Structure 1
């Protein structure tokens, strides 16, 4: 099959969500504006996630997986997905499905004009503390990166794969994908998308890694920006 979009789904102890993921993503693929497939990245789950993933993938070529030997974190899972993807576009959504896979079609409307299109969660259904800490963290990051993005933590994005593969990775970089695309002189856009409460599983983030972690990562980003190599070949002979 000539797939055009690989949707990365990082998985860490999401056994209660995976069958719903299969159902929702299968529904999206029937109506996707680009022919899509799913790539599960099992980030060292300790529950039955791997068994369920293998059962899902055994039934259709549109679902694939890679599995880590241990837990490396969200940034590593996304990076592994980028490195594995062989389609022209790569997307990303969380296994908790607090965002709607059908909204990938909203992002894809802008694919011809931008290298990265990210969702902005409208009317977020998270707790007051989670929303407040996310707002503060986004403000800190935006002050460092000047990327103009309001919600880089939104787990619904599409990126041109050749651009995604050039992004150098470090822990926490998933918050800086728009800024890293800008370093490649790429074009970025944010678009409002739906948001839902988590109905199964447990959030992997807390106050510490929503505030202190991103602040530390901002300094790592500034160092990387200073050292980042970006060039254009003008002529060849």
Structure 2
């Protein structure tokens, strides 16, 4: 069976959400415009997430998983997904399902001429503090990166795999994926998508790692931009 699209789902202590993830992603795979599969990346969960993930994968041939020995954070989970994907296209979605898998089809419509298509949460269903801190953080990142993106933290993206595999990920850099595609001379676009309240589980990001942490990450990005190696091979003899 030839797959064209892999959906990466980072998981950390999401036992209350995973059966809904199975239901919604299972439904989406039937209507996806590409032949798709799902890759869970369990980031060292301490609850029953792994048990549930393994049960999901046993009853769904299109579902697979990676399990970390220890918690390493969202950037590491996304990077591991990138490293293990073997399809031309990849995407990722958070396991809290505050975005809908069905909206992947909106992003896939645009991936042809673009190398990264990211969602933009037009009407966010988060708390005022969370919305305000994200707005400020996005403004700071946009000033540092000049990537033109209004919502780099949106957990719904589609990327051409060859570009994703060349991203030198480090902790916090998942917030700079559009900018890292631009460093490769790739093309990016943002598309409005729906956003929903969290139905179960707890958010993994607070004020520090939503606002002050990303500010420090901006300086790491500037260092990366200065040192980044990018080349194109014209001929091989």
Q: Distance in 2 between matches of 1:94 and 1:129?
A: 20
CA deviations on 1:1-44 (whole Å, 9 max, x unpaired) are 21111000000000000000000001101000111100000000
Alpha-carbon separation, structure 1, partners of 2:99 and 2:214: 22
Deviation at 1:62, TM superposition (A): 0.4
TM-score of the pair, normalised by structure 2:
0.99
Count residues with an aligned counterpart: 237
SS of 2:120 mapped into structure 1 = strand
> Partner of 1:156 in structure 2?
156
How far off is 1:159 after superposition?
Answer: 0.4
1:146: how far off?
Answer: 0.3
Deviation, structure 1 residue 233? 2.1
**Secondary structure of the corresponding residue to residue 58 of structure 1:** helix
Determine the C-alpha separation between the residues in 2 that align with 1:125 and 1:135.
13
2:37 paired residue number: 37
The question of 1:111 aligning with 2:80 is answered: no
**Paired position in structure 1 for 2:204:** 204
Q: 1:218 — aligned with what?
A: 218
Partners in 1 of 2:97 and 2:199 — Cα distance?
9
Deviation at 1:111, TM superposition (A): 1.3
Partner of 1:175: 175
SS of alignment partner, residue 92 of structure 1: strand
| Ranges in structure 1 where 5+ consecutive residues have no aligned partner | none
Taking the aligned partners of 2:104 and 2:140, their CA distance within structure 1 comes to 27
1:23-78 deviation line (CA, Å, top 9, x unaligned): 00011010001111000000000000000000000112200000000100000000
Q: Please, what TM-score do these two structures have when normalized by structure 1?
A: 0.99
Q: 1:235, CA displacement in angstroms?
A: 3.3
Q: Which ranges of structure 2 fall in alignment gaps of 5 or more residues?
A: none
Aligned CA RMSD, in angstroms, stands at 0.6
Write the distance in 2 (CA, Å) between the matches of 1:217 and 1:182.
17
- The aligned counterpart of 2:236 is 236
1:11 aligns with 2:14: no
Q: In the alignment, which residue of structure 1 is the partner of 2:78?
A: 78
User: CA offsets, 1:172-215, max 9 Å, x none?
Assistant: 01100000000000000000000000010000000000111100
Alpha-carbon distance in structure 1 between the residues aligned to 2:84 and 2:39: 9
Find the counterpart in structure 2 of residue 133 from structure 1.
133
Equivalents in 2 of 1:42, 1:11: separation in Å? 5
1:51-90 map, 5 Å? 51-90=51-90
Where do residues 95-110 of structure 1 align in structure 2 (5 Å cutoff)?
A: 95-110=95-110
- Answering whether residue 97 of structure 2 is matched by residue 91 of structure 1, we say no
